[in-house]
Amino acid sequence: MLTPWLQVDGAEARLRRWSDATGLDLIRLGTTAEADEIKDTAVTQPLVVALSLLAFDELRNRVSLPDDAPVAGHSVGELAAAAMAGALSSDDAVALAATRGAEMAAACALEPTGMSAVLGGDPDEVLARLDELGLDAANRNGAGQIVAAGPLSALAELTSEPKVRAKVVALKVAGAFHTRFMAPAEAALRERAKEIQVSDPTRPLLSNADGARVESGTELLERLIAQVTLPVRWDSCMATLGELGTTATVELPPAGTLTGLVKRDLKGTNTVALREPGDLDKVADVVAGQGGAA
Indicate which residues carry an active-site annotation: 75, 178
Contact partners, residue 102, CB within 8 Å, separation at least 6: 42
Helices 217-226 and 77-84: crossing angle in degrees, nearest 10, is: 170
Residue 148 zone, left/alpha/beta (φ > 0; ψ -120 to 50; rest): beta
Closest CA to 149 of 49, 232, 28, 220: 232
